Amino acid sequence: MIDLIDKVKENIESAFLEIADAANRAGRTTEDVKIMAVTKTHPAEYITAAVKNGITHIGENRISEGGRKIRELGSDYAIFHAIGVLHRKEVRQAARDFQWLDAVHKIEIIEEIARRNVSPNMLLEVNTSGEEAKKGFPPDIDLLEDVLGRALELSLPVKGFLTVGPLGGDVDKQRKAFENLRYIRDSMESRLKVSLPELSMGMSDDFALAVLEGSTMVRLGRRLFGSRGK
């Protein structure tokens, strides 16, 4: 366990250096950006290693797997985010176990959360890359205004947006996808007169680019823990 904690510490420090460099280039500070440790398929001790190194935000892709770890460690051990595809049948457990639902991608999910009279913090997922394999609302300003308006009408605490950058390593396309999400957030704040402070964008391969374009939270798994299953 000590070796794991030391390894994660080294990787966190390295990631923070990249974040600091990108933030400085963008006229931002490191305080503007949070690291979320993504612990999908890893046992609970990986969460412990991250928390012991100052990480407070933990992301889990699978509701049932994440729920087991949360019950093992305690719901107050960290701030737990559900970041994977959320199905309607999973809303009850997700809202019970997680403080944040970060990948809300359908109006039906919004309605189901409201129906259960729960209010976890929420991010709306937007497919800014346009890739068919990805989930999320299309990056249509008028549509998103209607969706966000409905969520606010239902008194749900939407805090911002999430996107997954395009595959393939094309820097221009990656930056454009992140820039688009920032533009959407700014437009929604202006149109609806609400505060949407969170932009969850950037993962292990593209988080520095996301910071350049305004990310407030980067989701790091392999960068902190190495490849899964090893």
Distance (Å, rounded) from C-alpha 165 to C-alpha 219? 12
pLDDT classification of 213: cutoffs 50, 70, 90: very high
pLDDT at 27 over 50: yes
- The answer to the question of residue 102 being in a domain is yes
Neighbour tally for 27: CB within 10 Å: 7
Q: What is the pLDDT of residue 229?
A: 54
Per-residue model confidence as pLDDT tens digits over 150-190: 999 999 999 999 999 998 879 999 999 999 999 999 999 99
Q: What is the pLDDT of residue 99?
A: 97
Assigned token pair, 52? 């012991």
Per-residue model confidence as pLDDT tens digits over 110-119: 999 999 988 8
- The answer to the question of residue 109 being in a domain is yes
- The answer to the question of residue 52 being in a domain is yes
pLDDT at 2 over 90: no
CATH number of the domain enclosing 203? 3.20.20.10
Assigned token pair, 155? 């008194």
Per-residue model confidence as pLDDT tens digits over 135-161: 999 999 999 999 999 999 999 999 999
- The answer to the question of residue 37 being in a domain is yes
In three-state secondary structure terms, 33 is coil
- The answer to the question of residue 230 being in a domain is no
Pick from 213, 133, 136: nearest CA to 173: 213
Alpha helices in the chain (DSSP H): 2-25, 44-52, 63-73, 91-97, 107-115, 141-153, 171-192, 207-212, 222-225
CB-based burial label for 26 (10 Å; 0-12, 13-18, 19+): middle
Q: What is the pLDDT of residue 16?
A: 97
- The answer to the question of residue 10 being in a domain is yes
Domain count, the chain: 1
- The answer to the question of residue 216 being in a domain is yes
pLDDT at 226 over 50: yes
Mean of pLDDT over the chain? 96
Residue with tokens 């950058």: 165
Which H/E stretch holds residue 217? strand 217-220
For residue 28, what are the domain limits?
A: 2-225
- The answer to the question of residue 42 being in a domain is yes
Please report, rounded to a whole number, the percentage of residues in the chain having pLDDT higher than 90. Answer: 93
Residue with tokens 């820097």: 171
Q: What is the pLDDT of residue 230?
A: 43
